[in-house]
Structure 1
Amino acid sequence: MAKILVVDDETDLEVLIKQKFRKKIRAQEYEFLFAINGKDALEKIVQNPEVDIVLSDINMPEMDGLTLLSELHQSSPLIKSVIVSAYGDMENIRTAMNRGAFDFITKPINFEDLTLTMEKTIKHAQHIKDTLQAIKENNILKMYVDENVLNFMGNREYESTIMANESIEATVVFIDICGFTKISENVDADKVVKLLNSYFDEMVKEIMQQKGYIDKFIGDAIMAVFKDEYHLDRAIDASLAVCEKINNLPAIEGNLEYKPKVSIGIKSGEMISGNIGSVSLKRLDYTVIGDTVNTAARLQDAAKENQIIISEDCYNQVKESFKCEKVGSITLKNKANPVTIYQVIE
C-alpha cells in the first residue's frame, strides 16, 4: 500500500482527494495523510517515516512548498515530491525541480492527470527503495558469506558441488565469555547486543590475525577453526592474544561490576568439513563436525576464567613451543576413560 502525504492549507482538498480516490482507499492501495503546511508535513513524516510520496502546494503559511522541498531533500531523500499549485509559471517550476521535485501539476487539478502522475511517482519511489534494499541485502550477505563463496554461487555447478564433504586435519577453538548471562539478564537488549558484538569483534581480529576463520557464533561463544600448516600453534597463539585483549578491556560501569574474561577449549585432529543443514529449506551451514569438535567444546566447559585448556595429545605436540601446566584428569561425556588436560600459560 502506497502512503501519500498531501500538503495544502486549503482543507477542502482533503475532502476532494478522499472522494476521488475512495475506491483505492477502500482497496487499501492508497493511504492518504494530510498536512496544512510544510512544518506540519515534516512532523507528519517523523510520525510516518514510511511515506512514499508528497503532493504539495507552494503558497502556504509558516513553511511554503519550496522550502519543504529543500527540507525533504536533506532529511528524507527517498520521498519523492510532486508540486500541485496554481503558480504554474516557469520560474516556480524550475525552482521546484532544482529543489528535488519529481513532477509538477497545476491547479485546478485534473484528477486523471494527477492519478497518472501519482502512479508514475510511486513506481519510481518504490524502484529506488527496492534498489537500496538490494544493495543493503548484498552488503549484509557479504558480512555473512565468504567472498569466494559469493563468486562461486554464480557457477552452474553450485547446487551439486555445495554439498561436497571432506575429512580434514585441523584445530577447533571454543571461546566463551565468562558470566555474560548475568549481563544479558540485567541490561537492556540493545546494550547487551552492542557489548557482545564489541567483545566478539576484538576476538575475531586476533583469530583472523592467525589465519583462523569463524565457524559460528553460539550465544556468547565463538567456534573458530584453524587449518593448514601449524594450525594448532596458530590456534594457541590466537587464544593467548584473545585472553590478553579481553583482559585489557574496561569493566562495565554500574551496579553489576562486570569485567569480561574468557575460557577457552582447544582440540586438534581429524574432522568432517561440509555443508550441514536442509537443502529444501535452503539453509546450509558450512561447518566442521566430529569427535574433535565435540571434545573442544567440552574442554571449554571445563576451563575457568583466563584458562586455555588443551588435551594431552595436543600438549605433546606443542610442549616445546608453549609453556603449559598439567591440570589433571577430567571425565568427558561419551568418553570411557578420564582425559588428562593441560593449561597453556604462555
Structure 2
Amino acid sequence: MTTATILFVDDEPDLEALVLQKFRRQIRDGAVNFMFARDGIEALQSIEQNPHVDMVVSDINMPRMDGLSLLQKLQEAEDKKSTIIVSAYGDMSNIRTAMNRGAFDFLTKPIDFGDLELTIDKTIRHVEMIREARRRQIEAERAHASLSRYFSPQIASRLAADGEADGMAVHWREVATIFTDITSFTSLVESATPEVLGTLLNEYVGGMTDVVFAHEGTVAKIIGDAIQILFNAPEEQLDYATRAIACARDLDGWAEDFRERWNSRGVNFGTTRIGVHAGPALVGNFGGSRFFDYTAYGDTINTAARLEAANKFLGTRICVSATVANSAENFQGRPVGDLVLRGRREPLRAFEPLPAATFEGPVTAQYSEAFAKLEAGDAAAMPAFAALVGLHAEDSLAGFHLRRLLNGAKGVRMQLE
C-alpha cells in the first residue's frame, strides 16, 4: 500500500494536534502522512522541498497568501496537486471561485472530521487513479521508445498500446525477410576518419530505416552496415511478399542515390547488395526479461543472407527467391537462374526485380529470349548473350552469363560458394 502525503495549510494553532489525534490510526497503519503549513507561501516552499505531496487541504483566510491564491499557484504548476478548500459555512462566493480555479472538493468550517475523512478517502482514490494513469503513460512511452527502434511509428504505437503482449513471444511465423550489406565497407572503415564514418553511417542507416518504415517493415537487426528486415511480423500483413519486393526496390534506389552523393564528395562508398526470401522463421523477442531484441532465426533468414551475398557473383544489386517473387502481386523482374547456395544441395530459382519501365523495355525481352535458350541448352544462347552485352555493356547479369558460357558452363543451374 502506498502512503498518501497530505499537506494541511491553515493558520489555526490547534489544527495540527487535532488532525494528528483524529487520524492517529491511519497514520499508524501507514495509510496517510500529514504535513502542515501556516500560509500559502510556506505551503509552496514545503511542496518545493517535498514534491511527493499528493493532496492539499487549505483554508481560505490566511496571512501573506490566502487559500484561493495558493490554489491558483498549485493549478499553474506542471505537477498539479489535488486540493480541498476549507471555507466558512455559507461563503458560497469563495467556494464557487475555488471550484472554478480547479479545487477537487470543499469543506465548511467548523470542520466535521468524519466528513473530512470521507473527503480525504475520496481524494486519495482520485490521486491513486492519477498515479496509475501516469505509470501507464510512462510504461507506454518507454515501450514506444524501445519499439520505435524496430518498427514503424504506426506499428510501434499499436504495440505499445497493446502492452507488447501477443506478437513479442517467440514463435514460428511465415515472414518475408530482406538482408542488405555494403560492398567494400571494411576498406571504408579503415580509410575514413571517425567523424566522416560516423556521419555517413548514421545517415545511411537512418535513411534506410525510413524506407523500411514507409513500407511498415520491421528492422530486426543492424550490425554495422548490414540490416535485416522482416515483413508479416510482428503484425499480420497479407501482402507481405509484395511489401518486401517494393521495399527492396526502394532501398536500392535510396542507397544508389546515397552512394552517388557521397562519391561526389570524394568518399568511396560501395554498392548496397540486397537479398529477399520468404518462408517460416522463429520470430520474437530474444532479449529475455532484461533486454528487448526482436529478431528472427531459421533457414529462411539464412537463405536471404546468402541471396544478398550472391549479388557479388552475379553482378546484380537485388536478388530475390522465386518463393517471394511468386507470392508478390504483379512481380516484375527477370530470372537469374537456379542457384545452389552455400551449404545447400537443392537449387533455388532467383530473380532480379526491375523497374516497370525497364521490365517492359526491349532489353528485358532480349534477355528473356537469351535466358530461354540457355535454359533449353540451346547453343544459340552464347551469341544471344554476346549480342545483348554488345549493345548494353552495363548489363552485369548478361555479362555474367556470357562469361559462364565462354568458360564452358551450360544451363541455368549454378553453384555459388
Above 0.5 in TM-score?
yes
Alignment partner, residue 17 of structure 1: 19
RMSD: 5.2
1:25 offset after TM fit, Å? 2.0
Residue pairs, 1:204-283, within 5 angstroms: 204-209=209-214, 211-216=215-220, 223-225=228-230, 227-229=240-242, 231-232=244-245, 234-235=247-248, 237-238=250-251, 241=254, 266-273=274-281, 275-276=283-284
Query: Structure 1 length as normaliser, TM-score?
Result: 0.59
Alignment partner, residue 172 of structure 1: 179
Q: What secondary structure does 2:86 align onto?
A: strand
1:29 offset after TM fit, Å? 1.0
The answer to whether the 8 Å contact 1:35/1:41 transfers is: yes
Alignment partner, residue 129 of structure 2: 127
The answer to whether the 8 Å contact 2:6/2:53 transfers is: yes
1:141 offset after TM fit, Å? 6.6
Residue pairs, 1:79-228, within 5 angstroms: 79-86=81-88, 88-131=90-133, 133-134=135-136, 144=147, 146=155, 165-173=172-180, 203-209=208-214, 211-216=215-220, 223-225=228-230, 227-228=240-241
Q: What secondary structure does 1:93 align onto?
A: helix
The answer to whether the 8 Å contact 1:37/1:64 transfers is: yes
Residue pairs, 1:261-340, within 5 angstroms: 266-273=274-281, 275-276=283-284, 287-294=295-302, 312=313, 314=318, 317-318=351-352, 339=417
The answer to whether the 8 Å contact 1:5/1:35 transfers is: yes
The answer to whether the 8 Å contact 2:204/2:258 transfers is: no
The answer to whether the 8 Å contact 2:171/2:284 transfers is: no
1:121 offset after TM fit, Å? 1.5
Letter of the 2:218 counterpart: I
Q: What secondary structure does 2:212 align onto?
A: helix
Question: In the superposition, relative to structure 1, how do residues 102 and 168 fare at CA in structure 2: closer, same or farther (>3 Å)?
Answer: closer
> In 2, distance between residues paired with 1:118 and 1:70?
20
The answer to whether the 8 Å contact 1:271/1:289 transfers is: no
> In 2, distance between residues paired with 1:219 and 1:81?
53
Letter of the 2:178 counterpart: T
Alignment partner, residue 33 of structure 1: 35
Alignment partner, residue 5 of structure 2: 3
Q: Cα deviation per residue 1:136-165 (whole Å; 9 max; x = unaligned)?
A: 766777784849987xx8xxxx98xx9874
Give the alignment partner of residue 59 of structure 2, picking from 33, 57, 68.
57
> In 2, distance between residues paired with 1:41 and 1:199?
54
1:49 offset after TM fit, Å? 3.5
Larger radius of gyration: 2
Sequence identity (%): 36
1:230 offset after TM fit, Å? 7.6
1:203 offset after TM fit, Å? 4.6
> In 1, distance between residues paired with 2:13 and 2:260?
65
1:264 offset after TM fit, Å? 6.7
1:116 offset after TM fit, Å? 1.2
The answer to whether the 8 Å contact 2:177/2:229 transfers is: no
Q: Which structure features the higher share of helix residues?
A: 2
Unmatched 5+ stretches in structure 2: 196-201, 232-239, 263-268, 320-335, 337-350, 359-393, 398-414
Letter of the 1:207 counterpart: V
1:73 offset after TM fit, Å? 2.1
1:106 offset after TM fit, Å? 2.6
1:338 offset after TM fit, Å? 8.7
Give the alignment partner of residue 68 of structure 1, picking from 67, 70, 75.
70
> In 2, distance between residues paired with 1:8 and 1:199?
62
Question: In the superposition, relative to structure 1, how do residues 30 and 163 fare at CA in structure 2: closer, same or farther (>3 Å)?
Answer: same
Q: Which structure features the higher share of strand residues?
A: 1
> In 2, distance between residues paired with 1:55 and 1:246?
66
The answer to whether the 8 Å contact 1:7/1:56 transfers is: yes
Question: In the superposition, relative to structure 1, how do residues 114 and 231 fare at CA in structure 2: closer, same or farther (>3 Å)?
Answer: closer
Q: What secondary structure does 2:46 align onto?
A: helix
The answer to whether the 8 Å contact 1:86/1:107 transfers is: yes
The answer to whether the 8 Å contact 1:174/1:224 transfers is: no
Which is worse superposed, 87-96 or 283-292?
283-292
1:74 offset after TM fit, Å? 2.4
Which is worse superposed, 51-60 or 82-91?
82-91
Letter of the 2:301 counterpart: V
Alignment partner, residue 385 of structure 2: none
The answer to whether the 8 Å contact 1:3/1:33 transfers is: yes
> In 1, distance between residues paired with 2:114 and 2:76?
31
1:54 offset after TM fit, Å? 0.8
Query: Structure 2 length as normaliser, TM-score?
Result: 0.51
> In 1, distance between residues paired with 2:32 and 2:173?
55
